[in-house]
Amino acid sequence: MNTARPESIALFCLTPGGVALAQRLRSKLPLTCFTSEKLLQPGFIPFGGSFAQTVEQAFSQYSALVFIAATGIVVRVIAPLVCDKLQDPAIVVMDERAEHVISLLSGHMGGANALTRHLAELLNADPVITTATDVNQLAALDTLAAKLNATTLDFRQTVKTINQMLVSQQRVGLWWDRDFAQNAECYDTRGFVPIDNLAVLPELDALVCVTLRAELPPQNIPLYKLVPKRVVAGIGCRRDTSPQTVATLLSQQLAENNFDSLALSAIGSVTLKQDEPALLELVLRHQIPFKLFDVDQLAQHEQRFPSSEFVRLTVGVGSVSQPAAWLMSNGNLVGNTLREQGVTITLGVSDKC
């Protein structure tokens, strides 16, 4: 999922007025500004080959592209590049007089709507946002998911279904599990019906639950889980352990702690395991980072946990899974460490989005 980050905004300007506006914005935001050779100013980067070629390259390198140009020109240049709303960068267009700032592409997941509002505020301009939930002053499930770094089964269809229900004024409940309830007020939930108790529900058309749990009490209405990616797994294993063995044991460990597999956010191990096939296959399957720690990093925390002399002789530290999970979760370990078939798995829950 793509979320616009201020430090990765590329700005394109095609006219002297656009360059002047870009210079104003550069004093307020970290921007990488592109323009033609003839309009080049200190701190600006010339188009590489052509305007279209430069945009094509930036499309995959930046999380947001801002154009000071006519909307038609922008539509034509990005049209061959548009692929998927979950991956495409935010596209924002503004006129060189800074009267209007338009959210053109990836309004929710890409963050174009939020960036449009921010730029409009900086320039005292009118933000132009046309997504249905925003027009109706409602929250959107995909925006909430992006803020929580969360996902759900069949994400695209679920977002479409829930957002359509919201704009159709149907009653969609929103329940936060205890780990997230204390921060619920920090998120935009306009249009959702707040739910405090799953055992006593008001009349609803659907229910969204923000949770890490694999299992929730059954309901007689459509229930959708929005699962924040917070669970980390420290893993140690013998060389060339079967990928299926490690995958099965990880699933077993997640299930034992009632964690939805969608909550898995990272796998960690010792640097010696950087090319371990079973671990590489796991991170590829779950599309999550593989975090590696050197022996010195793990050794700083091994005194907290039982040590194995075999592991120490093999990798240089007496424990791998537990200190790795400790480091990834800032000490918030969950459940017991699994030790089976030469594999150790320790789970933790990170408080980071």
- 12-29 residue pLDDT tens: 999 999 999 999 999 899
- 136-186 residue pLDDT tens: 888 899 999 988 999 999 999 999 999 999 999 999 999 999 989 888 999
Q: Cα-Cα-Cα-Cα dihedral of 325, 352, 2, 11, to 10°?
A: -120
Give whole-number Cα distances, 4 to 22, 62, 66, 108, 110, in Å: 18, 8, 11, 10, 6
- 200-248 residue pLDDT tens: 999 999 999 999 999 999 999 999 999 999 999 999 999 999 999 999 9
Q: What's the longest Cα–Cα distance across the chain?
A: 70
Mean pLDDT (whole number) for 286-306: 91
Fold entry, domain 141-228: 3.40.1390
For residues 173 and 208, is the Cβ–Cβ distance under 8 A? yes
Which of the four pLDDT bands, split at 50, 70 and 90, describes residue 353? low
Q: Domain residues of the chain, as ranges?
A: 6-130, 141-228, 231-349
- 128-146 residue pLDDT tens: 998 888 888 888 999 999 8
What is the chain's mean pLDDT, rounded? 92
6-130 and 141-228: identical CATH topology: no
Rg (CA), the chain: 24
Q: Reduced to 3 states, what is the DSSP secondary structure of residue 255?
A: helix
Asked: is 231-349 a CATH 3.30.420.180 domain? The reply is yes
Share of the chain above pLDDT 90, in %: 79
Measured from the Cβ of residue 207, the count of other Cβ atoms closer than 10 Å reads 22
Of 106, 124, 94, 81, nearest to 31 by C-alpha is 94
| Architecture of the 6-130 domain | 3-Layer(aba) Sandwich (3.40)
**Pairwise CA distance, residues 174 & 210, whole Å:** 8
pLDDT of 3 above 80: no
Q: Given this model, what pLDDT does residue 306 score?
A: 82
Mean pLDDT (whole number) for 284-291: 95
Q: Which two tokens stand for residue 203?
A: 């009349």
Residue-wise DSSP of 192-235: SEEES-TTS--S-SEEEEE--BS-----SS-EEEEEE--EEEEE
**What pTM did the predictor assign?**
0.79
Q: Which two tokens stand for residue 14?
A: 């095609």
Which of the four pLDDT bands, split at 50, 70 and 90, describes residue 5? very low
Q: Which two tokens stand for residue 314?
A: 């093999």
Lowest average pLDDT, out of 87-96, 102-111, 167-176, 186-195, goes to 102-111
Q: Given this model, what pLDDT does residue 107 score?
A: 84
Q: Which two tokens stand for residue 206?
A: 């659907």
Share of the chain above pLDDT 70, in %: 97
Strand pairing category for 290-293 and 333-340: unpaired
**Pairwise CA distance, residues 6 & 21, whole Å:** 18
Q: Reduced to 3 states, what is the DSSP secondary structure of residue 346?
A: strand
